[in-house]
Structure 1
């Protein structure tokens, strides 16, 4: 059996140097689960006079000695330790303890933040009020994260913007499930406590969207705005067929909800569109009639000009004969 390698003797200078290296890496040693590489680095910095295992063993022995000395000290400070390395190790262990406490506090705060907030009935009612007040903005905006942040701020930041958004989606999903279960004839209404409030928000949003679609279609530029002057010659226009106008305008007549109110508005859209098509057709007929009159007048003017030209030619011939 090979003889065990003799342990290196630590001098006071070596111990002081080790304490300096230990103090500079106390945080890394405390944080790392596997810290053999740190003792290896200390060994290299100490010119490999001691192996990483010997440095690790020395640190454990110094720690044990420090705890023994600390247990002997009078808690009221009457009998301080006289060990030469006590104050240095106390400084190392004290700073490590503070760092550990800081990280424990940070971890506890992160765990508290990760816990989902509980929604009470009053919180849900308050959210429904904020949601209803901004239902049109949420429907109109393509990016609405800022709206949820505003709602979170108005609710005292008890819930984050992400939690508010998630709650709105959950309430919408619950409303649709309840609506699919209810009798279409109204004989079996939902008993969910928020059904009527969410129904009012979603249906009002659908009606507002349909109203804006109608407003945009009525505010679209009319062909009469680009109508040319009757005094200029125009080619005979081709009248558009009503089926073409209806097909091109059909996307604006789609209703976002199959309820009775949007259906009635859809029929009103059809009436408005038919009325607009009739007006447009009448305008185009008037343009065609005026264009025909203008063309006839221009043909008459050209014929008259030809007759005058012929008379001038005859007159010029007579003058030429007399001069000759």
Structure 2
């Protein structure tokens, strides 16, 4: 059975009230069953599995819409439930992957630019205290001899 607009709005409100419970527990069957019972009280007949699938579909659609907008915000989503979904799950790290990745890249570039010491053009580079031996045998020292190295 499909979801009416009223049932979708109701499930979003129930989800907003229980998002903490659903994120904290591994086994959420009882929460989905209670949400289905709440929907039934409002006149919508959906079972616990319907509720679980609907929430998964909403989450997937939210992530898709967010990805299509891109990190700069792009054109806003035309999905009717996008703003409410953003209020419910938009602040969780699992839904902020792009933002966290860009923040991480930005932070690392700031850190590397502030900690790296680049000499100014007129500053001579430090010389090593003892030069490393060349991996290539010298031809001048062994010229005329047939030593195996």
Q: TM-score, normalised by structure 1?
A: 0.28
Residue of structure 2 equivalent to 1:132: 16
**2:70 aligns to what SS in structure 1?**
coil
Residue of structure 1 equivalent to 2:60: 173
User: Which consecutive residues of structure 1, in runs of 5 or more, have no partner in the other structure?
Assistant: 1-116, 207-254, 268-324
Question: Higher RCO, 1 or 2 (CA under 8 Å, sep at least 6)?
Answer: 2
Structure 1 CA distance for aligned equivalents of residues 25 and 6 of structure 2: 27
| The structure with more helix, counted as a fraction of residues | 1
Structure 1 CA distance for aligned equivalents of residues 34 and 61 of structure 2: 24
**2:45 aligns to what SS in structure 1?**
coil
RMSD (Å), alpha carbons: 2.1
Structure 1 CA distance for aligned equivalents of residues 69 and 90 of structure 2: 16
Structure 2 CA distance for aligned equivalents of residues 165 and 154 of structure 1: 14
The 5-angstrom pairing of residues 201-220 of structure 1 reads 201-204=88-91, 206=92
In the alignment of these two chains, the number of paired residues is: 98
Residue of structure 2 equivalent to 1:49: none
Please list the CA deviations of residues 160-205 of structure 1 after superposition, one character each: whole Å capped at 9, or x if unmatched: 000010111111111111111113212311111011111211124x
Residue of structure 2 equivalent to 1:25: none
Residue of structure 2 equivalent to 1:60: none
**8 Å CA contact 1:183, 1:189 repeated in 2:** no
Give runs of ≥4 in structure 1 deviating > 6 Å.
Answer: none
**8 Å CA contact 1:175, 1:198 repeated in 2:** yes
The 5-angstrom pairing of residues 239-318 of structure 1 reads 256=94, 257-258=96-97, 259=99
Structure 1 CA distance for aligned equivalents of residues 90 and 3 of structure 2: 24
Q: TM-score, normalised by structure 2?
A: 0.59
The 5-angstrom pairing of residues 1-324 of structure 1 reads 117-156=1-40, 158-204=45-91, 206=92, 256=94, 257-258=96-97, 259=99
